[in-house]
Amino acid sequence: MSTRIFKCRNLNIPLGERTLIMGILNATPDSFSDGGEAYGLQNAIDRGLELISAGADILDIGGESTRPGSDPVSLDEELERVIPVIEALSNKTKIPISIDTYKSEVARLALKAGAHIVNDISAGIFSEDMPEVVSDFGAGIVLMHIKGTPRDMQKNPSYDNVMEEISYFLMNAVIQFRSRGVDKSSILVDPGIGFGKKLLHNLELMKRLGELKKLASGVLVGPSRKSFISGITGSPVDDRLPETISAAVVCAFNGADVIRVHDVYPVAKALKVSDAIQR
């Protein structure tokens, strides 16, 4: 497998040698799967260190739930939730820290506090100056596809050709960021599993992830505990670990460079085996 580099600030993260894991740290009281578990500064710090110990290669810290039907939180509230966590963890670990936000001001202050990557569910659509923030810091950026907003994205989303439309959306997002000073090597693309997609849309996207690799330095995907799993097995949100592991392994085989998950330890073990087979 050829090695590529994902550049984020002063770090060069190799892609292609193995599948990397982005551990989810929701510093919120209301996330769809683990709301409240890492809410509050000490809880968030403890959770972050647990994820690192379990094998996370990147920590993704978020202060606003973007589950289907969710309402936005204020800028001040989001900053209050995430900035102290980033400051604390950046002094306790050398692994890259990602800020999960679509607000450019949150991104700017998070990067100033020690984050390396911005994970933007809107690919810059919700904050027009996001490219300049990313460029100014030399940060990495994850550009994700979303159809609509978190509040309305699951209200009967439809596509004529889901892969073609999402590829086109992400291609244009990459062009926008590159035209405003962000290098292609600093960009990951994410098809946005569960963000304005029905079950069959999600399955097709996970099957065809490799087609997105040409757009950026690599592909990130987040199947963890998502509702599409219930559409297949009927499992409730707190009992989707086996299905998440299965989806992660298949995504890795189909071209994902980074998998974003809640359950880092078991997924990391499974990916070690699948990586050994694949590579």
Query: Among all residues, which ones are annotated catalytic?
Result: 226, 260
Name the region of 103 (left: φ>0; alpha: ψ -120 to 50; beta: rest): beta
β-strands 218-221, 20-26 pairing: unpaired
- CA atoms within a 13 Å half-sphere pointing along the CA-CB vector of 171: 9
End-to-end Cα separation, the chain, in angstroms? 7
Separation CA 237–CA 191 (nearest Å): 21
Separation CA 83–CA 88 (nearest Å): 9
Q: Are the CB atoms for 84 and 111 separated by under 8 Å?
A: no
Q: Is 82 exposed, middle or buried (0-12, 13-18, 19+ CB in 10 A)?
A: buried
Helix and strand counts by DSSP (H, E) for the chain: 9, 10
Cα angle at 200 between 145 and 212, to 5 degrees? 40
